[in-house]
Amino acid sequence: MVARYERIAEELRDDILTGVHPVGSQLPTEAELATRYEAARGTVRQAVAVLVAEGLVGSRQGARRIVLGRARSQSFAELHSFAQWARANGHRFGGQVMGQRRRDASPVETARLGTDEVLEVLRLRTLECEPVLVERTVYAGWVAGAVEALPPSCESVTEALYDSIGLVFAYGEHLIDAVAAGAEDARLLGVRRGSPLLRQRRITTTHEGRPVEWSEDRYRAGSVVFSIRNSIDANPLVRQAGDLRFGA
C-alpha cells in the first residue's frame, strides 16, 4: 500500500519530467492540487514537500512554488551500492576481489566499527569493461563470515548480504575529496601514479545505528561525478576543512 501523498508526488514528478510543468513555471497552488487529487491540503503539502526535498521544486512562504529542475534524485541504495547505481543507470559493470584478509582492528577502527576483529577487502570495479574504481572496505567482525562466503566476482555485496543474512544498510555518512593515485591505485586503474582520483570515504550502519563497514573508494577522474541540489531552506551537503575526521 503506497501512501496517497507518495502517489501524488509521483504524478507531479511525472508532470515535471514530461513538461506539463516546465522548468521555471509555477506549480498549481495547494488548493488547486487538493481539488484535483481530492485530498486534504495537508496531504498535498506532504507530496510537494517530497519534491522540494528532492530539489525539483522551490518553495517559500507567500509565493507560488516554482519548478527548478527535472533531474531526479536517486535512492540511497544507488548512492551506496556501485552495482545498484550502475544497474539503475543502464551501465555494464563488474567487480573482482583482489585481496582479502582478517586482522585485528586498529584503535581507530575499533572506535568506528565497535569490534576488535575486522575483515579487510580490496575490490576493483569496472564500468563498460574499464576499471574505474578501487574499493578498500573494512567490515565489522560480525559480518566478516558472511562477506567471506561471497564469490570473489560478486557483483553486489549489498544485495548479497541482504539475501544471505538479511542485513540492511540503512544510514551512511560520506566524505568526498580528491587525492593522488598511489602505486597500487595506478596499477589497478591503469593510470599514472599521482594522477587525480575522486575519493569517497563512508561509514554505513544498520537501522539500529550499528556500524557495518568503513570503506574508501577511489574513482578514476572523469568516470563519475557527484551531484547535489540544495536551497536556502534545505541543505544536505556540507563542506569541511582538511582531513578532520576519519583520519588519514
The site for DNA (CB under 7 A) is made up of 1, 3-6, 27, 29-31, 38-43, 45-46, 59-65, 207-208
> Binding partner of residue 179 among DNA, a second copy, none, CB under 5 to 8 Å per kind?
a second copy
Give which of DNA, a second copy, none residue 65 binds (C-beta under 5 to 8 Å, depending on kind): DNA
Locate 226 and state its grid cell: 557527484
Q: Residue 175: which of 109, 110, 240, 106 has the closest Cα?
A: 240
d(CA 103, CA 65): 55
174 binds a second copy (CB under 8 A): yes
Among 122, 150, 170, 186, binds a second copy (CB under 8 A): 170
Q: Which is nearer to DNA, 42 or 99 (CB)?
A: 42
Q: Is 82 within 8 Å of 44 (Cβ atoms)?
A: no
Cell of 242: 582538511
Using CB under 8 A, which residues numbered 128 to 167 contact a second copy?
none
Given DNA, a second copy, none, residue 75, with its beta carbon under 5 to 8 Å by kind, binds a second copy
Count CB-CB contacts under 10 A for residue 147.
23
Residues binding a second copy: number (CB under 8 A): 73
Q: At 205, which amino acid appears?
A: T
Q: At what angle do helices 41-54 and 30-37 cross, to 10 degrees?
A: 110
Residue 66 near residue 26 (C-beta atoms within 8 A): yes
CA atoms of 96 and 152, how far apart (whole Å): 6
Alpha helices per DSSP H over 137-180: 141-148, 157-165
- Binding to a second copy, residues 73-112 (CB under 8 A): 73-80, 85, 89, 91
The site string for a second copy over 17-46 (x = CB under 8 A, - otherwise) reads ------xx----------------------
> In the complex, what is the shortest distance from the CB of residue 239 to DNA, in angstroms, rounded to a whole number?
26
Q: 234: which 3 cell numbers?
A: 534545505
* Closer Cβ to a second copy, 27 or 33, answer by number: 27
What are the phi and psi torsion angles at 147 (to 5°)? -70, -40
**Euclidean distance between CA atoms 174 and 170, whole angstroms:** 13
**Length of the chain (residues):** 248
Q: Which partner in a second copy, DNA, none is near 194 (CB below 5 to 8 A by kind)? A: a second copy
Residue 11 vs 117, nearer CB to DNA:
11
Which set of grid coordinates corresponds to residue 147?
562477506
| 197 makes contact with a second copy (CB under 8 A) | yes
Residue 76 binds what, of DNA, a second copy, none (CB under 5 to 8 Å, by partner type)? a second copy
Please report how close the Cβ of residue 60 comes to DNA at its closest, in angstroms: 6
Is residue 222 part of the contact set for a second copy (CB under 8 A)? yes
Residue 228 within binding range of a second copy, rule CB under 8 A: yes
